[in-house]
Amino acid sequence: MDLPEVNPPSAAESEPKEPVGHAFRSLKELVEYVSGKALEPSTAEDSGIVAEPLPFPFLAIVGQKEMKLALLLSLINPAVGGVLLIGPRGTAKTTAVRSLLDLLPQVERSLCFYGCLPEDIEAGGIDAVCPDCARKYAEGRPLTMPDRVRLVELPLNATLEDVIGGIDEQAAAHERRRIRRGILAQADRNLLYIDEVNLLNDDIVDAILDAAAQGSYTVRRGPVSGSYRSRFVLVGSMNPEEGRLRPQIMDRFGLRVIVRGLEDQAERLEAYRRVHAYLTNPRQMVRQYAAEGALVQQEIESARLRLSQTSIPDKLAKTAISLVQKMGIDSLRAEITWFEAARAHAAADGRAEVSAEDLKAVAPMALRLRRSEFMQSYFANQQNEEEELRGLLNHWSQRKPRQNAKKT
Ligand SMILES: [Zn+2]
């Protein structure tokens, strides 16, 4: 696959200055409009699931190579641990995530509203699924069917109960039915997108990150409990102007991309033209990129299949780890993400062995924003204290015999 080349981002103007249309005052507004801000779906029954029939095509997004690369790698290998997009508003973060719809691979999905899976029966017996699915299973009928990975968006006003689920007071007696599935269960085998993740309540973020890390979670309400699978690719976005992200949350996002506005005037103009074309005739725009999109989707699927055969040689891994240590990064997640992203990069290129070039291509997004200034100064202070203590103890142990001598 032809992955976008990554150049380290440099400081750039993030806000467009010239008005570019009559209906929209700026490119930023256009992009926000295209990104669906004005068309937010209502979150009644299936909270979170986005039904956007004609998203802006991923391949039509101009520039932003590192953002595109990070998103593609996370589709190929969910073990990269998600993607955090950091940048000002109007830099096509949400547009890019929604545009992934066309590239998403196929997975096996439960046919049941309660999300029952054959694995549930294998793990917990026939009572682990709802009565309908138990009957189906006994009759040898399938509980799942192949389906596209979906995009699930977390509404900003979601409560903890929306996210993990809660008791359904009206439901029938079967345990499985007593617990209403939350957004996390809906996100299983899907892509979960959290816009403005830095504005979300801590308890909700913690629940999501725990579920993402474990691949499943359990809801307990008194005597009733339900376990759900939650294997999803987590993509978050944040505008640092609107508040910071707790370091422990930042650490749990695998890839971090700094998304800046397009620098090149020609690129900006091209971006405007494409957004304008999309707004004028979305159907035509989508058709124009459909064949190429289908090709990329197939390549993602074959890269996913190749991934299990792709490995990183020990010698290369050791030199990479020494680089992580030289950078003063303590978190083990740094090299986990780095190596998993490099494996995806190699698999996308049809290779079974990770090369130094793969590691180089994904290093900035895996390793940036991992060094903790607080921890560094904490350890330095601690070191000073240790030395001071050692000095005092030496001094004290040398004086000790004289003190004894005085007493006698
Ligand atoms: Zn069921």
Q: What is the mean pLDDT of residues 201-229?
A: 85
This prediction's pTM: 0.77
The Cβ of residue 150 has, within 10 Å, a number of other Cβ atoms equal to: 20
Whether 333 is catalytic: yes
Residue 400 in this model has a pLDDT that exceeds 70: no
Rounded distance from Cα 18 to ligand 1 centre (Å):
55
Over its C-alpha atoms, the chain yields an Rg (Å, rounded) of 25
Q: How high does pLDDT run on average in the chain?
A: 82
Q: For residues 285 and 277, what is the distance between their CA atoms, to the nearest angstrom?
A: 7
Rounded distance from Cα 109 to ligand 1 centre (Å):
12
Which amino acid is present at 132? Answer: D
Q: What is the mean pLDDT of residues 135-158?
A: 90
Rounded distance from Cα 178 to ligand 1 centre (Å):
12
Estimate to the nearest angstrom the gap between the alpha carbon of 194 and the chain centroid.
9
Closest C-alpha among 301, 302, 342 to residue 320: 342
Quote helix, strand, coil % in the chain, to nearest 5. Answer: 55, 15, 35
Rounded distance from Cα 131 to ligand 1 centre (Å):
7
pLDDT given at position 149: 87
Neighbours of ion ligand 1 (CB under 5 A): 112, 114, 116, 130, 133
Q: Which two tokens stand for residue 190?
A: 């899907």
Domain ranges of the chain: 27-105+149-307, 381-408
Three-state DSSP at 391 gives helix
CATH number for region 27-105+149-307: 3.40.50.300
pLDDT tens digits for range 346-395: 999 999 999 999 999 999 999 998 877 776 777 788 888 889 989 988 88
pLDDT given at position 5: 57
Q: Which two tokens stand for residue 191?
A: 């892509």
pLDDT band, residue 70 (cuts 50/70/90): very high
pLDDT tens digits for range 163-214: 988 777 666 556 556 677 789 888 888 999 999 999 988 899 989 988 988 8
Closest C-alpha among 100, 104, 103, 94 to residue 34: 94
Q: What is the mean pLDDT of residues 226-244?
A: 88
Q: Which two tokens stand for residue 218?
A: 């359990």
Q: For residues 60 and 239, what is the distance between their CA atoms, to the nearest angstrom?
A: 23
Q: Which long-range contacts (CB under 8 A, 24 or more apart) does 276-280 make?
A: 276/21, 276/30, 278/34, 278/56, 278/60, 279/30, 279/33, 279/34
Rounded distance from Cα 144 to ligand 1 centre (Å):
10
Q: What is the mean pLDDT of residues 296-303?
A: 92
pLDDT given at position 28: 55
Q: What torsion, rounded to 10 degrees, do the Cα atoms 117, 120, 125, 130 define?
A: -50
pLDDT band, residue 102 (cuts 50/70/90): confident
Catalytic residue among 148, 177, 333, 368: 333
Rounded distance from Cα 184 to ligand 1 centre (Å):
17
Three-state DSSP at 154 gives coil
Please answer whether residues 114 and 182 qualify as being in contact, where contact means their C-beta atoms are separated by less than 8 angstroms. Answer: no
Rounded distance from Cα 177 to ligand 1 centre (Å):
9
